[in-house]
Structure 1
């Protein structure tokens, strides 16, 4: 098979996968996780049942794909180098705000919150495969910065929680809970910048090259 044919088939497969994930998200929100069947998802997405089962043999596997889609970042995922912690946290904070601003993220949390009493495994999947890996990337960055001597943080888990919490508290949770709540791009940028300044002011080592005047 030629490379162009292979590329075409890969593109078609990805389009079908996207359609399946989108249809599943819509149906989980409309009908609930329990009442949504794979057959109904195939019908909504416009693919055959055979095509759906080829990509997702179980509903749990399909939910995992929704988690992956929601938490996948569009920009470079390599962590910023340990050095100027303000610049590094700015990159990580903007990535996090971008993730939280996606419609898929709001949909994901609404599904998890609605179904958690009957399907706690959905919440565990969302945390283990979505939130936790991103949280750990921020924690590793803070640990690397601590080792580099630009910050002094004995509890990087707490510091990462503080940083991401300041962003999520303003950017995400009101959007999830309050109908019509919107946060403009300028305000998001300000929220991230203030979260960075707060962490830098608390943890930066004087004379390390990281300025608190940002």
Structure 2
């Protein structure tokens, strides 16, 4: 007897289709009709499950960034291990979703619904990352500075490296251990 792998749920197919189409066509070009067609469901299913395109895209971004939020919430006690793990997950997330990010960023200023969604989702996801840096500051392992500044100083270069590499067509190898060591220079407390 041949067993077929279980089909992805309609919700998962809709979330994936929304991300793909926003990456390909932008927010306006990712119509609910196109999203439903790509997901293999009726458009009414999209509206029944998510009510609006903005809600669907918001949920898709939450779904696509879930790993980032959960990773940073549980410090192991080993600063380097946690930062290397964060760097890997964040780098992988950007690598797999860079088309979406490249497409969404310019549209944030033009699409208030998308801007609101993106801000809310990123604040939620970055909250876990901020908590990781706050934990190590409280433990005396990192210099005291605003947590948001410290976290963004860590994430920003990874973000720029990936997006600039994509825009220029460059494949830049990533070495998370070396990246963390460079980041910690001047930030790690050695009391």
- Residue from 195, 204, 211 that aligns with 2:179: 195
- Residue from 130, 137, 146 that aligns with 1:146: 137
Aligned to 1:8: none
Q: C-alpha offsets along residues 11-49 of structure 1, whole Å, 9 cap, x if unaligned?
A: 65x522222233333444555433544234323322123
- Partner SS for 1:86: helix
Change in CA separation of 1:162 and 1:118 when aligned onto 2, cut-off 3 Å:
closer
Change in CA separation of 1:168 and 1:152 when aligned onto 2, cut-off 3 Å:
same
Structure 2, unmatched stretches of 5+, are 1-5
Change in CA separation of 1:39 and 1:166 when aligned onto 2, cut-off 3 Å:
closer
How far apart are the structure 2 equivalents of 1:31 and 1:149? Answer: 47
Change in CA separation of 1:120 and 1:195 when aligned onto 2, cut-off 3 Å:
farther
Q: C-alpha offsets along residues 77-100 of structure 1, whole Å, 9 cap, x if unaligned?
A: 363426332222112111111111
Residue range with higher mean Cα deviation, 121-130 or 59-68 = 121-130
Q: Contact 2:72–2:128 at 8 Å: present in 1 too?
A: no
- Residue from 171, 182, 194 that aligns with 2:171: 182
| Superposed CA RMSD | 2.8
Number of aligned positions between the proteins = 186
Residue range with higher mean Cα deviation, 56-65 or 18-27 = 18-27
Query: When the two structures are superposed, what TM-score results if normalisation uses the length of structure 2?
Result: 0.79
- Partner SS for 1:33: helix
Q: Contact 1:145–1:151 at 8 Å: present in 2 too?
A: yes
Aligned to 1:68: 62
How far apart are the structure 2 equivalents of 1:60 and 1:75? Answer: 21
Deviation of 1:126 after TM superposition, in Å, equals 1.7
- Partner SS for 2:67: coil
- After the TM superposition, which residues 37-56 of structure 1 pair with which residues of structure 2 at under 5 Å, given as runs? 37-56=31-50
Aligned to 2:3: none
How far apart are the structure 2 equivalents of 1:117 and 1:147? Answer: 36
How far apart are the structure 1 equivalents of 2:111 and 2:14? Answer: 21
How far apart are the structure 1 equivalents of 2:160 and 2:102? Answer: 16
- Residue from 146, 151, 162 that aligns with 2:153: 162
Deviation of 1:107 after TM superposition, in Å, equals 3.2
- Partner SS for 1:73: helix
- After the TM superposition, which residues 23-102 of structure 1 pair with which residues of structure 2 at under 5 Å, given as runs? 23-73=17-67, 77=71, 79-81=73-75, 83-102=77-96
